[in-house]
Structure formats: C-alpha cells, structure tokens
Structure 1
Amino acid sequence: MTERATYATVYVGAQLSPDGAQLDLDWADDAGDRTADHEFEVSTDDPREAYLEIQAFDVAEYGHEVLVNDEPLTGFDIPPNDGWQLWTDTVSGTDLRAGTNTLAFARDADTDDAFAVGTVRVHWKEPAGGFQPKDPVEK
C-alpha cells in the first residue's frame, strides 16, 4: 500500500509554571500546571508512525508530560535544555484517531520548573489516495 506523510501544526504558546515563578515571556500565556487541550484534525482512520516535533523553552526537569487525547505518552517526553530546543517524541502509549484529536502539556508539579511550549507539529503517515498510475512499473 502506498503511504504519504502528512502533519498538523498546533500553536500552544503557553508557559507552565508554579504560582509566582512565571517566566518573563510576552508571547506565552500562563497555563499553570496544565495547558488547555489544543485540537487538531487527522484525515484518516489509519494513522501510522506518528511523532511530534515540540518547540520547548527552558525545560529544567524530565517529569513533564505530553498528553494526546488525554493520555500521557510513554517514557520521558521533553528533556531538560537551557533556552530553545526542538524535540522529537514518538506517539506511544496512545493513538491518533480519525477526526478531532487533542494535545496538551502537563507540568510535573513536584518540581519548581517553569518552561514554555511554542509550536508543535504532529506527523503521521496515512494511506495515499488520489492518483494511481495507470500502468504501474513491475519489479
């Protein structure tokens, strides 16, 4: 079966922080310990090999969670890094589904870490429809 890669871009624009420890960021809304759910659409009922590209700022601890459809991904989700990072994480422990999906971030409330999330790109493969060659090349 022929597949194609596709994606959805989700602007989160949020900082997660304990009370009184917000970062001085004019572009990020204060989310406290958990962001709101951000919706994105998946155009197939058979998404495969999903992964996320996460723009994260000033992460200091390992325990924060990425939630897809209200389920946390397995393993650690965002590693510590001073300043900006672009982190790739596979969607494991939950699945994308056809139609509306949600993405959220939850801060490890046992730490005093304050960090921000910019844009997230959600990638997956889906069966390719549309153009099919009239005379496919045989191997």
Structure 2
Amino acid sequence: MPHRANYARCTFQQHLGPTVDSLDVPWAEFTGDETDVRTFEVPTADPRDPYVEMQVFDVGDYGHEILVNGASLSGFDIATADRWQYWMDTLEADHLREGENTLQFRRNAAGDDAFVVGTAIVHWREPVA
C-alpha cells in the first residue's frame, strides 16, 4: 500500500522559565513551567513513523518534556544547546490518533533553566487510498 507524508505545524513562541526575567526574550510570551496546549488534526486511523521537530532557544537542561495527547515521550526529549537549535524526537505510533491531538512542552521545574519554544512540526506517514 502506498503512503504519503503529512504534518501539522504548531506555533508557540513561548518562554518557559522560573521567572519572567529569567531570559531576555521580549518577543516571546512568558508562560512559566509549560507552554499552552496546541491542537492539530490527524486525518488517518493509521499514522506511521511519527516524529516531532522543534525550534528551541537556549535549552540548558535535559530534563524538559514533550507531551503528546497528555503523555510524556520516553527518554530525554530536547537536547541542550546555546541559542537556536532545530531538534527532532521520534514518537511511538500509538502516540497519535485519528482526529484531534495535542502537543505541549513542559520545563523541568526542579531546575532554573529557561528557554523558548518556537515552532514545532509533527510528521507522520499515512496510507493513500
């Protein structure tokens, strides 16, 4: 059966950190320990090989989480790097479901790291009818 690639773009532009002045990014909305939840649609009951790519700024701690439909991904989710980076993390096929899905980022509140989540793109393959 042939497949095609599909994706959903989720824009955040949100600053996560212990305080509003923990990072000098006046262009990003401060949201504390977690981003707002973004929703996206998956038009198939059989999403394959899903992954998420993200733009993140100034990540200094490996303990932050990505949540898909409220469930945290396994392992470390976001690599550390000064300034902007583009990172990818794989998802298990059962993380996505047909219809509405959600994406959210949560900072490790036990630390003092501050970073920005820019835009994230969730990718999957789906059968072509």
Bin the TM-score by the shorter chain: over 0.9
Structure with the bigger percentage of strand: 2
| Contact 2:64–2:78 under 8 Å retained in 1 | yes
> Share of identical aligned residues, percent?
51
- The equivalent residue for 2:103 is 103
- Structure 2 CA distance for partners of 1:15 and 1:94, relative to 1, 3 Å: farther
State the number of aligned residues.
129
- The equivalent residue for 1:123 is 123
- Structure 2 CA distance for partners of 1:16 and 1:100, relative to 1, 3 Å: same
Once the two structures are TM-superposed, the CA of residue 93 in structure 1 deviates from its matched residue by 8.6
Rg (Cα) greater in structure: 1
Once the two structures are TM-superposed, the CA of residue 59 in structure 1 deviates from its matched residue by 0.1
- The equivalent residue for 1:37 is 37
TM-score (norm 2): 0.95
- Structure 2 CA distance for partners of 1:43 and 1:55, relative to 1, 3 Å: same
Q: Which amino acid aligns with 1:91?
A: L
Gaps of 5+ in 2: none
Q: Which amino acid aligns with 2:13?
A: G
Q: Which amino acid aligns with 1:26?
A: P
- The equivalent residue for 2:6 is 6
- Structure 2 CA distance for partners of 1:30 and 1:6, relative to 1, 3 Å: same
> Alignment RMSD, CA only?
1.3
TM-score (norm 1): 0.88
Gaps of 5+ in 1: 130-139
Secondary structure of 1:22's counterpart equals coil
